[in-house]
Amino acid sequence: MGAEARAAGRLRVAVAAPLSAENCARVRELEPRIDLLVDHALLPPMRWPADFAGDPSWRRTPRQQRAYDELLDSADALYGIPDVDPSALARTVRANRRLRWVHTMAAGGGSQVEAAGLGSAELDRVAFTTSAGVHGQPLAEFAVFGVLAGAKDLPRLSRRQRDREWTGRWTMRQVSEQTVLVLGLGGIGRVVAAKLHALGARVVGTSRRDVDVPGVAEVVRPDRIVQVAPSVDAVVNTLPGTAATWHLLDKRFFHALRPGATLVNVGRGTVVDEAALIDALACGRVGFAALDVFETEPLPADSPLWDHDHVLVSPHTAALSAAEDRLIAELFAANATRLLDGHDLLNRVNTVEFY
């Protein structure tokens, strides 16, 4: 933090993203050493909870933009990436030499930091943190919903109901008898694993490190997923979008997958090669896909995924909950305390691989 803030034992924080008056008060209450700089007239109105980009039709006047930039340039820390815009982040980092910490609203905020194109000295000077963990429960529930929907033949049930067709009975798969591969054992993956384990599933997780995670029967390296694919009934992706995870689920993986498997994606869309997924759906390797994220968002109108009977499209909304704004504010306050007390920050972005 800046010399003045260090001398006073305080942290000057500019609110760069929408933050309600109630949550401003919460942050101040949780960490009284924060000097919170906020002008709600300079922030876009939110259309729903956690809508940190705000209404796209809203614009600042030139005078408001200057005031907003001046606010950001006077702070030791930022609550949010300005306008959720990597170029605005780059401008602020370069204009504000006292800036030492930026908290991003997204769990995968590392990709936004990478897109800012900051130099190594700038990345060393400023610490970046994410809101990882805040979204764990809602995303885990969507993941369980997707696994259950695949096991219980949701597409088949929907078609029969739509066509008013009362067919003969058929057996449904039991999640308690399935093996589920959970890609990534971070904050979200661990909650997913715990919930699936509670349903009786055998959970296999991926990690680049040797970890022992409750509810996970086996941990494999990401480069071994093709080898375990023939033994799994469902796959849940919770991984962030990085160079290392790009198209991790590719043609090779889908070809090795047990026929009829379920795929759920609550991580980043770039982890899945969508062309390979469409082929896997066509040949039955993937029997059902519940997708909250996509390679390109919004999902293009001409994407075959929109009309596929065995695909559930969710418009990147599974993480959203009424509590999200409050939980992010509480996480920010906790990290501010750690910063002021000289402790390591939670969820610090790895500025080599940007996760």
State yes or no: is 316 an active-site residue: yes
State yes or no: is 297 an active-site residue: yes
Which listed residue (4, 70, 297, 353) is catalytic? Answer: 297
Instruction: Name every residue whose Cβ is closer than 8 Å to that of residue 276 and which is 6 or more positions away in sequence.
Output: 247, 249, 250, 251, 253, 254
- Asked if 41 contacts 64 with a C-beta cutoff of 8 angstroms, the reply is yes
Instruction: Name every residue whose Cβ is closer than 8 Å to that of residue 330 and which is 6 or more positions away in sequence.
Output: 26, 30
Which listed residue (100, 268, 285, 310) is catalytic? Answer: 268
Element (H, E) at 193: helix 187-198
State yes or no: is 268 an active-site residue: yes
- Asked if 253 contacts 225 with a C-beta cutoff of 8 angstroms, the reply is yes
Token pair belonging to 284: 């039955």
Distance separating the N- and C-terminal Cα atoms of the chain: 23
- Asked if 180 contacts 195 with a C-beta cutoff of 8 angstroms, the reply is no
- Asked if 128 contacts 118 with a C-beta cutoff of 8 angstroms, the reply is no
CA distance 207 to 182: 10
Which listed residue (316, 326, 338, 348) is catalytic? Answer: 316
The DSSP string of 91-138 is HHHHH-TT--EEE-SSTTTHHHHHHTT--HHHHHHSEEE--TTTTHHH
Phi-psi region of 260 (alpha: psi -120 to 50; beta: other; left: phi over 0): left
**Angle between the N-to-C axes of helices 324-340 and 21-30, in degrees from 0 to 180, rounded to the nearest 10:** 30
Please identify every residue annotated as catalytic. Answer: 268, 297, 316
